[in-house]
Structure 1
Amino acid sequence: MKTSIALIAISIALLSGCVHVMDNSDPTLQVSPISYEELRDKPLAQLGKIVMFGGIIANVSNSTQGGEIEVLQYKLDDDGYPDDTQVSSGRFLATSPTLLDANSYPKGAQVTIVGEVKAERQVKTKWQTTHLPVIAIRQIHAWIPEEEKKMPFLIPGTTRVDPYYYGHDTPLPKRPLGIKTDIR
């Protein structure tokens, strides 16, 4: 009896170790099933709705009003990971009242953002003027780059690599693995 309870407890602990992009403990973060195309075409009709989009960081900038990330949008898979094998439908701006560290959110990194639709902003490029939807960040998750997913197993509490781990000759990453932030 005790072994079956222990086995069930261990199974639950292992299954709960899965990565979830969104922290479900906040009841105000009910994501609306809005496609990026709907948001891009009519952002003012979606004001105040909570959405989850992701893609590749094109630019990070900071000002006295806070931080801003320009994201090249890609559809998200079932885990909330941006699928950059598809065609992008455009860009969006993600804003934060706090400053955003460009080292934590480097250009080219994949990111998933949960936030509130605020407005749209006119952005001038070299060739044209375009309107981008603006999303106020509530939660943000920077994904582990592909080369860092192959990181070797480290001996807990050390920076030493387990020599019995297959692929132990893989170099260690040069930056933090995953950054999950809750911005309010």
Structure 2
Amino acid sequence: MRPLAVTLVLLLGGCVATPVFKHIPAHASPAPRDVARSINEQLERSVLWGGMVIELREFAGHAAIELLGYPLDAQARPVPQARDGGRFIAVRAGRLDPAEVVPGRFVTVSGRISGERLGRLNGEDYIWPEVDALEMHLWPRDLNLREHPRTRIGLGVQLSR
């Protein structure tokens, strides 16, 4: 029994920890682009969104992060190889470290849709859904460069003549 326990510890030791969010929606979260189309019906909806930081803005008492949304994988990591889901603003109480929350870094947030921001993007009107980020996970800087582990367990059979 002991060799099995040691093997399991070694195998699981290399796994990346999945962040634990307390505020996870019961149903899959719609993409930010879809929420922007019907923002009034979506207010107060719980979402779990992730994306790439575009810009961090700090204000008195809170910070706002503009993110380019991406679908999430099973570990709640944004998948930058997928088609983006539109932009959104994550609002977080307090201050954030501008040396850590930099453009190009990936973030996953859990929270509630609290409103919208109107503006122009690439010369066109744009609506950014705004999320009150109750929880936030900042992914390692090399998230989009890492090769995800491919663990396979199999049983080999060799036939000889």
TM over 0.5: yes
Q: Distance in 2 between matches of 1:55 and 1:67?
A: 16
Segments of 5+ residues of structure 2 without an aligned counterpart are: 148-161
Segments of 5+ residues of structure 1 without an aligned counterpart are: 151-184
Match of 1:33 in 2: 28
Residue number among 137, 142, 147 corresponding to 1:141 in the alignment: 137
Change beyond 3 A, Cα 1:49–1:87: same
Match of 1:154 in 2: none
**1:57·1:105 contact (CA, 8 Å) conserved in 2?**
yes
SS of equivalent to 2:95: coil
Match of 2:127 in 1: 131
Residue number among 48, 57, 71 corresponding to 1:61 in the alignment: 57
Q: TM-score, normalised by structure 1?
A: 0.66
Query: Structure 2 matches for 1:1-184, cutoff 5 A?
Result: 11=8, 15=12, 18-23=16-21, 26=22, 29-31=23-25, 32-36=27-31, 37-125=33-121, 127-146=123-142
Q: Distance in 1 between matches of 2:24 and 2:139?
A: 22
Match of 2:156 in 1: none
Q: Distance in 2 between matches of 1:68 and 1:98?
A: 10
Bigger RCO (CA 8 Å, 6+ sep):
2
User: How far has the Cα of 1:77 moved from its partner?
Assistant: 1.1
**1:60·1:105 contact (CA, 8 Å) conserved in 2?**
yes
User: How far has the Cα of 1:69 moved from its partner?
Assistant: 0.2
Q: Distance in 2 between matches of 1:30 and 1:87?
A: 23
**1:39·1:46 contact (CA, 8 Å) conserved in 2?**
yes
By percentage of residues, which structure has more strand? 2
The aligned length equals 143
Change beyond 3 A, Cα 1:102–1:76: same
* Identical aligned residues as a percent: 21
User: How far has the Cα of 1:22 moved from its partner?
Assistant: 2.9
User: How far has the Cα of 1:124 moved from its partner?
Assistant: 2.8
Aligned CA RMSD, in angstroms, stands at: 2.8
Q: Distance in 2 between matches of 1:13 and 1:117?
A: 41
Change beyond 3 A, Cα 1:139–1:10: farther
**2:24·2:110 contact (CA, 8 Å) conserved in 1?**
no
Match of 2:158 in 1: none
User: How far has the Cα of 1:9 moved from its partner?
Assistant: 9.7
User: How far has the Cα of 1:53 moved from its partner?
Assistant: 0.8
User: How far has the Cα of 1:133 moved from its partner?
Assistant: 0.3
